Each structure stands twice: as C-alpha cells, then as structure tokens.
Amino acid sequence: MKTTKSWGSKVGYASAAALLLVTLAGPASVFAETAAAAKTGSAAVIEKTTSSVVAIIGKPGEGKKVESRYQLAHGTGVIVRSEGYILTNAHVVKDMRNITVVTSDGKSYAGRTTHYDEESDLALVKIEASGLTPATFASPSDIQVGEQVMAIGTPLSFALRNSVTSGIVSGMERSVHSSYSLIQTDAAINPGNSGGALVNMKGQVIGINTLKYVEYGVDSLGFAIPVDTVQHVLGHFFKYGKVKRPYVGVELNESWEAVVGIPSGSGLEVTYVEAESPAAKAGLKKGDIIQSIGQTSVNTLVGYNEALKKYLPQEKISLTLRSGGQSKTVELVLGEVKTADVKLVQDAAGSYIDSDQGKTRIGDSHYGWSMRYPAGLIQMNQSDEGSVTFRDAKEEYAITIHVEENQSADLSPYGLLRKLDGEAETVLERRYVEEGSQPYAKLVGKADGEYYYQARAFHKGDQVYYLTLLVSEEADYQNNAKRSSYEDLLDTFTLAFDKQDKALKDISSYEDKNTVATEYGISFDLPANWEEGYGEGMTYTHTEEDVDLSVRVSSVSSGDTLKDWAARDEERFKRTYVEEYRKVEAPADITVDGVPALSQRFAYTMGDEWKHALVLYIFKDKYKYELQFEYAEEAQEAAEKTMADLIASVHFPKDSMNASIGFIQDENELLKDTDTVTVTSEKYGYSIVVPESWSTTSREDFDSRYAEYLSQLGTGRTFYFYGGSIKLSAVEDGHLAETVSRIEKEHQTNHGIDAEYVYTVSDEPMLGLTVKKFALQYISKDIPYTLNQYVFEKNGVVYTMEVRVNEAVKTDALWAQIQQAAASITFQEPKQ
C-alpha cells in the first residue's frame, strides 16, 4: 500500500516534487544532430522552434554550495507570450539570483520570476522585450506514443545553449516523482535541459522537459510535463496569479496493484479525514474507497490529481464511494489548498538583488572588523567562532582572519608579539608596528619548508585578531608585484565596523539564534546559547537563565479537541500537586503561525522555590504539538521575552513532515492510575504490586561488572515516583531487634543534633504481622518530606520498608497508591 503525503500542510491533494535527477554523458553536438536530422526534415523543425527557446542563467540561491564566484546555475525556457513571458521549470529558477535570459539571436535580458508553482514544477520569467516569437503548442489529443520528437535546451554548460537531441515519445501518463502524469521520451535530457521544449515534427511543443531518471544500467529515460498540464498552469497563472487547487481533506492509499503498475480498479482507500474539511462535511470516513470523481475513475494518486485538475475551489463535485460494503455517491463543495507565498527578492529593475552589488568593503559586524573588498579571492570557509578564509582560484594565495576572545585586556606589545611565536621555522621579519592608529605585532616567516606567510596580531578589549597572508610557493612569494597587492589589502584591515556604511558587506556568520527544523512538520528558533537537554523527546535548555523547553508530538485521536486535551493535562497537574503547592490559570485562545491553539500557565513548588510553566496546545492536520516552557520565578522577566520570541518563530513548513511518520500514540492517553505491575524478588522472597508508571532499580538488575554502583544500591529495590520513593530491603544476616535498635539510634543521633528533628515509634499491624514503624517529617534543603520506616521479619528474613514522599505531591491519590503498594506485599521462601 502507498500513502499520500499531506500537500501544502493540507490533505486532499496527492503530492510529490518534480526534481531533476542529474548527470550522464556529454551532450551531442547540435551540428551532428542537425546533419543527421536533415534527411527527415528535422532541420526545418529546428529552424522553426529554436527562436522560441531561450537560455536562463543566474547565481545559485543562498545556502547552495558555491566553489567559485564564477559558478552559475542555468536552465532553459520557452517563450509563451511575445511581450516577454517565458515558461520554465520551477526548480530552475528556485532561489536563483541575477537572472539573465539569452534569446536564440544572442541578445541578453535581465529577468525576474513572476509566477511560481512548485507542485507542477512550472514558473514564469518576465523580461522587458517585445516582438518575441511564442512557441506553438500541440493539441493534447494529437500526441502519440512512437512519434518522433526533439528536445531543445542548454545541457551541461551555458555555452551549449539551444542544443538539440532527438528521440520518440516512449510512453504517456507516466508517474515518476510527480503530482501529475508525464510524457516519457528517449530523447537525451541532460542537466540544463530543464525547462526546455519537447517538440514534435510539426514544430509544436508537446511538453516541457523536467527530469531524467539516472541509475546504473538505465539509459534514455527522460520525462516532460505534457502540454495539457502546461496549458492548465499557464491559464491559472495569467488569470489568478497562481494555481488554484481544489481541497478535499483526505489522505489516500493506493492498492498494491497500483503501486507496482498493474492495471487496477480497486480505487483509493481513505486513511485520514481532516476535521471540518469538505470530505468530513460530506460524511467520508476512514476506510472508505473512492472509486470515481464525477465520471472519471480514480485508481492512482496521479489519476486522482488529474481528475481534480478539472475543477476549481468552491465547485461542487460528486464522489462515488464504497463504504461499509455498500456503493454510494456523495456530493461536496471543494475548498482551496493553501499554499505559502513565494518570496522573490528583486530590485526596482526586476532583477534579483546581488548581495555583493555596490560593495567596496567587507567585514564582520559581530566581531567588529572590516577591510577592503578582496577582489579576485573566493571565500572558502567560515566558522561561528570568528574565522574566515579567502583564497585565489589557483590556490597560490590565501588570507585568513581569526578572532580569539576572552584574552587579557592589558596585553602588552611584548605579549602580543608572543602570540605569534611557534609558527615559523625560519623567521624573516618579527617586530611590533606602531604606525597609524592601530598598532600590531608582525611576523613574516617560512613554515613546513614550503609556504611563506605574514601574520599580524591586533588587540582590542579582550579580543586578539589574527590576520594572515599565506603564499604556497617561493616563486609566488618572490613575485613582488602580486604579493604587494595582497599586502596592501592587509593594510586596509581595521578594528571597526560601520553599520551605516552601505558599501560595507557584512559577512558575519554569527547567529544569535539557531533554527530547529524537525522531521515532525514544525520548526522554531532557539537562542544561540541554548543546548539540547536530556530525557525523552525534543528538549532544550538554557542553564544560565534556567529556562527549559520540551516539544512533544503525537497523533490526534478521533473526536479529540484542544479544550479536552488541555483539560486532561490540567486534571493530571491537579492530581500531582497538593493544592497549596500549585497554581493554574484558565487556558487562553491564541494562534501560532496562523494555526488556532491554546496556551495555559501553571506554577508549582516542591517547597523551596516556585517554578512556572507555559504550555501550548496545537492541532495541525492529524498531529498535535505540545510546547512546554518551564522557568524559575526569578528568571520570569527574561523568560517571558525568550518565550515570546520563540513562539513567534514557530512555523509549520509545507511538506516538512517526514513522509514515513505514521500514527504516534500519546502515552498519556493510555496510562491509567489503576495499571499495575508485579515485581518479584526470588532471592529475598517477596512480591509487590506497584503502579506501572513507577520506575525501579535493584542490584538484582545488574551483574558484577557494576560493583561500585551495586554497593550504593545495597540489598534493596527502590520504586521511584514523582516526588518520592519506596525502598524495600532485606537485611542480610540481620536480626529484628538489632535492626530496630540501629535505626532508632540513628534517629536519636539526629534529634540530638537538631531539636526540631522529631520522630515517633509505634507498633503497627501490617501484612498480617506486627511491624515497628518510625515516622517523622523533616526538611531537607528547604523541601519538606514525610518519612515512614517499617521493620519486620518474615520467613527468617528481616525486611525494612522506607516510604519517602515530598509534602508538595502527597495528594490523597498518591498516598492511596503508596498504601495499596505496601499492602500488596506477599512473601515466599527466599531462593538459596
């Protein structure tokens, strides 16, 4: 079975990304292709169509790896309107900056992306031109398997623009990582062909080249977006400014036959219905089988999408279902899939803004330095700790800048010069330079017998700045003119950064926040000084401010609501703390990233200081998200600002949920106070029944390798619950009277030290025995506790049971659990 992925953070539209799968052999020459094609009239087709095909080039988007300042991204486009509208793949222009379009006559134009639809992998680029030759599109019904076609594009290199390859239509209505059906072709489609035209022998465009399948042993497997999808998307672009997709509100499974490609009439199984969706209002439920939309049978996810393509939001459709073994038809009014706005960062002229444009200096605003723009050098790497390296393309010269923090504020010239010791095998120059307003230590030397370098050390406040020129070969070092140009660059280094200087480019990589992008469909920004915490789930902490965050994700149970969820948590909180040790406020309605949510504040103390908690309850699609902040009362002011900033940063990015994530059980919904487990010690001859939520440790759980830890555990087993524990021990080689006497002496000693240490001793009936009970209340580190100790003998074994519980959590419910556990103890003959 195959499950759809929620599309656009909504369900009801099967989704997959159409992305270029790259690499293969170099392109065939346009001249060789043309010569071969001339016999079949291909030359005439090429002459007719190439004027409608353009090359697109630009800088890769931010975050993409760039090895050289000359590395550019490129693709292909097809002219669709004479006034300068060009169709291409969305993945070609995604995040592309400084778009340039080159037409077949060699003219170049600045371009800007005006429309963008990632789901169909189509986008429009606009150039300021007129009189262009739009492509002619074929009729969808005229396309036939086996007909000859040609692919026109810009493979591998921009220098190869308007290259032509030929082949046939190998298949129709294919589904390969796409939301809609594709045309399969054996015409060579290489990197850079994306967005180009697949044309028939009439010179008509039958599709837009989008991807090729690359795998060892697989050849001639390319795909194009068919003309009917192209015309559908273009129609929406020009009429609505975007593609308006209908929303049903279901997730679907394909049958195994559909997954492996066997013709199937099984329909699509509904695996999830979103609350308040059109499907929910029409009565669809999990397990229903959708067989047709209108008069169109649907057996695959792509077929489902193709059928919905005929409709607009707010239109009424009929669905034929098989539900509960019965066939029925329901009608519903379609909603609209919500899509995120695409940010197209452009200047007034319409081009993408080059962040280097107009810059004459670079610097780091966080570390407070600047220098002349290092023309001819490539920035290679950079760290958050203040290090950055530039080098030339031939790797002959390199400049590094490094900052050391927390240094002595009164560093002397001698001390600064000493900072440069130990690097050079041969010292060529070593001195303290006092020229100008910022003196520095200077060392010129030769290291490792190979490279030369000049290092400068500057001092400001508690920071030392190291500026180093590295020269790889002696011959390059002897090239005085070239070396001097780099030394002149070093001379422009200054310990200042003017934020008002528009010609100064800030290259700082320091982040005062880190974005946490999870696979659970949620992301948020944490302050840079936060760390991952310990424990289950996603936990984060700031030890200095004493603020913690935990994030829990689970599935929404059928019929659950935010208010019911919050009410269950509030009831659990009240069962945990005694009334005078807790505070709780009523939940408040809020929105998080446009999603309705509840927030509720809690406070509690274990008897020493008050802790506060802010809990957010969020439903998003079929999952629920609980964000819990916890902070100390004295940190409240700082915590409030941190929480506000963090909540404002929460996003639910489209398609960020890992598609493999299924149902996640909320364990709190399963756990009941009445659920218990029986723990037996054969060695010491007893069994005890305790709540399943309690944890336990005993030396019987470990082997002799943990001798040191075992000695700390003693002979007992401890059961831990929140705020306390029960420890049940067997006194090896013990006697009842001696054990009672020893424990009483310990209490007497404590009373002698502290007169407020008061305890009582009594004989109590328990477990069919008369046991000795020591009872007291005491305060440890300002935290009040109740401690009861019981001593008794059974089957020749002396046992002690110690019950310790914090007064803050000594609720009636917990005390009843403790008493039930104590009363459940049974005895057997110890195993020898």
CATH number for 789? 3.40.1000.10
Q: Per-residue pLDDT averaged across 613-626, rounded? A: 94
The DSSP 8-state label assigned to residue 751 in this structure reads H
Q: Per-residue pLDDT averaged across 677-706, rounded? A: 75
State yes or no: pLDDT of 701 exceeds 60: no
Q: Which two tokens stand for residue 389?
A: 């390296």
* Of the candidates 454, 354, 481, the residue with the CA atom closest to the CA atom of residue 398: 454
Least confident range of 382-391, 412-421, 662-671: 382-391
**CATH number of the domain residue 299 falls in:** 2.30.42.10
**Domain final residue, candidates 205, 222, 240:** 240
Among 153-162, 541-550, 740-749, 751-760, top mean pLDDT goes to 740-749
Reported as a single tens digit per residue, the pLDDT across 52-100 is 999 888 876 554 444 444 456 778 999 999 999 999 998 888 878 778 8
Give whole-number Cα distances, 756 to 552, 780, 788, 822, in Å.
44, 13, 17, 28
Least confident range of 166-180, 204-218, 435-449, 664-678: 204-218
Q: Is residue 355 assigned to a domain?
A: no
Q: Per-residue pLDDT averaged across 485-491, rounded? A: 85
Q: Is residue 11 assigned to a domain?
A: no
Number of domains into which the chain is organized: 5
Q: Which two tokens stand for residue 339?
A: 């899509």
> Distance (Å, rounded) from C-alpha 766 to C-alpha 446?
86
276 and 220 within one domain: no
Distance of CA 218 to the CA centre of its chain: 33
Q: Is residue 550 assigned to a domain?
A: yes
Q: Is 129 helix (H, G, I), strand (E, B) or coil?
A: coil
**pLDDT at residue 627, rounded to an integer:** 95
Beta bridge partner(s), residue 625 = 553, 618
* Of the candidates 178, 307, 257, 213, the residue with the CA atom closest to the CA atom of residue 2: 257
**pLDDT at residue 745, rounded to an integer:** 93
Q: Which of 117, 121, 228, 593 is catalytic?
A: 121
Query: Cβ distance 46 to 150 under 8 Å?
Result: yes
Give whole-number Cα distances, 539 to 432, 500, 535, 573, 652, in Å.
50, 39, 7, 20, 18
261 and 374 within one domain: no
Reported as a single tens digit per residue, the pLDDT across 165-214 is 888 998 888 877 678 889 998 887 776 778 889 999 998 999 998 876 54
Strand order in the sheet with 504-506: 369-372, 361-364, 504-506
442 and 557 within one domain: no
State yes or no: pLDDT of 529 exceeds 90: no
> Distance (Å, rounded) from C-alpha 206 to C-alpha 141?
10
Q: Is residue 351 assigned to a domain?
A: no
State yes or no: pLDDT of 9 exceeds 60: no
Q: pTM for this structure?
A: 0.51
251 and 208 within one domain: no
> Distance (Å, rounded) from C-alpha 831 to C-alpha 825?
17
Q: Per-residue pLDDT averaged across 438-458, rounded? A: 86
**pLDDT at residue 160, rounded to an integer:** 63
> Distance (Å, rounded) from C-alpha 372 to C-alpha 387?
17
Q: Per-residue pLDDT averaged across 248-259, rounded? A: 84
pLDDT band per the 50, 70, 90 thresholds, residue 382: confident
Residues in the chain, total: 832
Stronger pLDDT, 94 or 422, i.e. the higher one: 94
* Of the candidates 35, 217, 197, 160, the residue with the CA atom closest to the CA atom of residue 185: 197
Q: From the CB of residue 546, how many other CB atoms can be counted at a distance below 10 Å?
A: 17
Reported as a single tens digit per residue, the pLDDT across 22-63 is 322 222 333 333 334 344 467 888 888 888 999 888 876 554
526 and 468 within one domain: no
> Distance (Å, rounded) from C-alpha 750 to C-alpha 756?
9
Instruction: Write out the E strands in 461-510.
Output: 463-471, 504-506
Q: Is residue 343 assigned to a domain?
A: no
**pLDDT at residue 356, rounded to an integer:** 57
Give whole-number Cα distances, 394 to 375, 389, 471, 490, 533, in Å.
14, 15, 11, 20, 45
Q: Per-residue pLDDT averaged across 371-375, rounded? A: 82
Percentage of the chain exceeding pLDDT 90 = 40
Q: Is 193 helix (H, G, I), strand (E, B) or coil?
A: coil
**pLDDT at residue 36, rounded to an integer:** 40
User: Backbone phi, then psi, for 673, in 5-degree steps?
Assistant: -60, -25
**pLDDT at residue 213, rounded to an integer:** 56
**Domain final residue, candidates 451, 474, 503:** 503
| DSSP H/E element including 676 | strand 676-681
Give whole-number Cα distances, 779 to 80, 610, 785, 806, in Å.
82, 17, 6, 9
pLDDT band per the 50, 70, 90 thresholds, residue 358: low
530 and 384 within one domain: no
DSSP-derived pairing of the beta strands 361-364 and 504-506: parallel
> Distance (Å, rounded) from C-alpha 116 to C-alpha 114?
7
Q: What angle do helix axes 30-37 and 42-49 make, rounded to 10 degrees?
A: 130
**CATH number of the domain residue 100 falls in:** 2.40.10.120
State yes or no: pLDDT of 597 exceeds 80: yes
> Distance (Å, rounded) from C-alpha 5 to C-alpha 19?
16
Reported as a single tens digit per residue, the pLDDT across 780-826 is 777 888 999 999 999 888 999 999 999 999 999 999 999 999 999 99
Q: Which two tokens stand for residue 405?
A: 């923090």
549 and 609 within one domain: yes
> Distance (Å, rounded) from C-alpha 506 to C-alpha 598?
40
10 Å CB burial of residue 815 (0-12, 13-18, 19+) is middle
Does 366 qualify as catalytic in the annotation?
no
Percentage of the chain exceeding pLDDT 70 = 84
Reported as a single tens digit per residue, the pLDDT across 538-586 is 898 876 667 889 999 999 988 899 999 999 999 999 999 999 999 999 9
Least confident range of 326-330, 394-398, 438-442: 394-398
Reported as a single tens digit per residue, the pLDDT across 385-408 is 778 888 876 677 889 999 998 888
The parent domain of residue 376 ranges over 363-503
> Distance (Å, rounded) from C-alpha 97 to C-alpha 95?
6
**Domain final residue, candidates 240, 262, 296:** 240
Query: Cβ distance 690 to 36 under 8 Å?
Result: no
pLDDT band per the 50, 70, 90 thresholds, residue 161: low
Does 181 qualify as catalytic in the annotation?
no
Summary mean pLDDT of the chain: 82
Q: Per-residue pLDDT averaged across 338-358, rounded? A: 49
* Of the candidates 67, 4, 496, 545, the residue with the CA atom closest to the CA atom of residue 298: 4
296 and 381 within one domain: no
C-alpha torsion angle, residues 475, 481, 483, 484 (rounded to 10): 150
Q: Which two tokens stand for residue 570?
A: 């509030």
190 and 286 within one domain: no
> Distance (Å, rounded) from C-alpha 474 to C-alpha 87?
53
**pLDDT at residue 27, rounded to an integer:** 28
State yes or no: pLDDT of 351 exceeds 80: no
Question: 């001593």: which residue's tokens?
Answer: 791
Q: Per-residue pLDDT averaged across 484-488, rounded? A: 81
State yes or no: pLDDT of 832 exceeds 70: no
Question: 């499974």: which residue's tokens?
Answer: 253
Q: Is residue 585 assigned to a domain?
A: yes
**pLDDT at residue 715, rounded to an integer:** 60
Q: Is residue 353 assigned to a domain?
A: no
Q: Is residue 14 assigned to a domain?
A: no
575 and 464 within one domain: no
Distance of CA 533 to the CA centre of its chain: 18
Return the sign of the alpha-carbon dihedral for residues 366, 371, 372, 375. Answer: negative
**pLDDT at residue 708, rounded to an integer:** 44
Q: Per-residue pLDDT averaged across 643-653, rounded? A: 91
727 and 648 within one domain: no
Q: Is 199 helix (H, G, I), strand (E, B) or coil?
A: strand
> Distance (Å, rounded) from C-alpha 73 to C-alpha 75?
7
10 Å CB burial of residue 705 (0-12, 13-18, 19+) is exposed
**pLDDT at residue 712, rounded to an integer:** 42
pLDDT band per the 50, 70, 90 thresholds, residue 705: very low
Q: Per-residue pLDDT averaged across 716-735, rounded? A: 87
**pLDDT at residue 325, rounded to an integer:** 85
State yes or no: pLDDT of 502 exceeds 60: yes
pLDDT band per the 50, 70, 90 thresholds, residue 370: very high
Q: Which of 74, 91, 115, 612 is catalytic?
A: 91
Q: Per-residue pLDDT averaged across 233-251, rounded? A: 91
State yes or no: pLDDT of 535 exceeds 90: no
Does 121 qualify as catalytic in the annotation?
yes
**pLDDT at residue 357, rounded to an integer:** 57
Q: Which of 9, 15, 181, 194 is catalytic?
A: 194
698 and 588 within one domain: no
Least confident range of 17-21, 105-109, 334-338, 445-449: 17-21
